[in-house]
Amino acid sequence: LRGAAAIVGVAESDLGDVGPQRHAIELAAQAAVRAVADAGLGMQNIDGLFGCVAGRLMSNLDLGEYLGIRPRYSDSGNIGGSSFISYLYHAAIALRAGLCDTALIVYGSTPRADVQRKQPLSGLLERPNYEAPYKPRHPVSGYALATARHMHQYGTTREQLAQVAVAARAWALLNPVAFSHDKGPLSIADVLDSKMVCSPLSVRDCCLVTDGGGALVVTRADRARDLAKPPVYLLGAGEAHSHRSISQMPDLTTSCATESSARAYAMAGVGPADIDVVQLYDAFTINTIMFLEDLGFCAKGEGGAFIADGRIAPGGALPVNTNGGGLSYCHPGMYGIFTLIEATR
């Protein structure tokens, strides 16, 4: 699969607070139209559809209907915020096998607008059986548990966690469409003094809640060379999962990124030392520290020290989440597609 597929168009929808009159499928469609145009194509060229729209049980049926796409290949499996990285991997497989020629990966969600229009949660709120009696406030409770364990086991400090949020805000100040673009820089003290949400994570350790959508267009390498924008080739990909419930996580300080990254590195023929920019899912500050360890940029337990002194901030040795990340750019609930959009750009 190395280099067999390429991203040829990317786009976001309107982001931030779009108002109660806007809905998730509208933002997904807006991003899709923009991404297809970015590739110099039309919807009639799309025959592979990979999508997720918040609150829609049959996302791809709704998206196909809304966008006028009758796909030859369709995938809307939901594994959370990483679904879109999985879709890119699966799209490359489908393209390589000739099951489709041009794939659209798309997402839309409006959690802020949903609250404004007092829209109830769709369906029953799922709670894992073993955790339900304790009434966790997920997802923050699970990440707080992992954070507490990392701090206990490796001596990671809240000040180190705060540096992740400070770096993310510094990147957001350079991004005109970032939700926090006009909110000014963040200091370590600002993070430490912000309201505690679930100990040891405060408000500034937690991702934004914004509306937004995103989309990618992916095609075979042989076709990509003839399109409007320089192609961005997929060199390596991998996926893995071990649990859904935090109570069933084999090791609270190690994620399946250890496995998925090993597969991606092997396919691409590179290692961490070859990487000079990183886009991570930073739903919480612990994510960035833990994932940098799991991806091999530093040893397990050394993530807090690794990101010190602005290493991942603008001007640092390893740029991370250069759009501002889920902490300061946007986070409509499933952030993964925005890592791909920023990596492509």
What is the full DSSP assignment across 246-263?
Answer: GGG-S-TT--THHHHHHH
> In this predicted structure, what is the pLDDT of residue 138?
86
> In this predicted structure, what is the pLDDT of residue 125?
61
Q: How far is the C-alpha of 31 from the C-alpha of 216, rounded, in Å?
A: 9
> In this predicted structure, what is the pLDDT of residue 136?
86
Q: What is the pLDDT of residues 31-85, one digit of tens each?
A: 999 999 999 999 999 999 999 999 998 999 999 999 999 999 999 999 999 999 9
Q: What is the pLDDT of residues 240-262, one digit of tens each?
A: 999 988 999 999 999 999 999 99
Q: What is the pLDDT of residues 183-203, one digit of tens each?
A: 999 999 999 999 999 999 999
Q: Is the peptide bond before 71 cis (omega within 30 degrees of 0)?
A: no
Percentage of residues in the chain having pLDDT higher than 90:
92
Of the listed ranges 122-126, 137-141, 321-325, the least confidently predicted one is 122-126
In order of 4, 88, 89, the CA distances from 233 in angstroms are: 7, 11, 12
> In this predicted structure, what is the pLDDT of residue 298?
98
Q: How confident is the model over 122-142, as a mean pLDDT?
A: 77
Is 218:95 a contact under the CB 8 Å cutoff? yes
Banded pLDDT at 133 (limits 50, 70, 90) = confident
Three-state DSSP class for 205? helix
Banded pLDDT at 121 (limits 50, 70, 90) = low
pTM of the model: 0.96
> In this predicted structure, what is the pLDDT of residue 126?
66
Is 325's pLDDT higher than 70?
yes
> In this predicted structure, what is the pLDDT of residue 265?
98
Is 149's pLDDT higher than 90?
yes
What mean pLDDT value characterizes the chain? 96
Banded pLDDT at 314 (limits 50, 70, 90) = very high
> In this predicted structure, what is the pLDDT of residue 40?
97
Q: How confident is the model over 10-30, as a mean pLDDT?
A: 97
What is the full DSSP assignment across 33-99?
Answer: HHHHHHTT--GGG--EEEEEETT-TTHHHHHHHHHT---SEEE---BTBTHHHHHHHHHHHHHHTTS
Q: How far is the C-alpha of 219 from the C-alpha of 197, rounded, in Å?
A: 43
Is 123's pLDDT higher than 50?
no
> In this predicted structure, what is the pLDDT of residue 134?
86
Percentage of residues in the chain having pLDDT higher than 70:
97
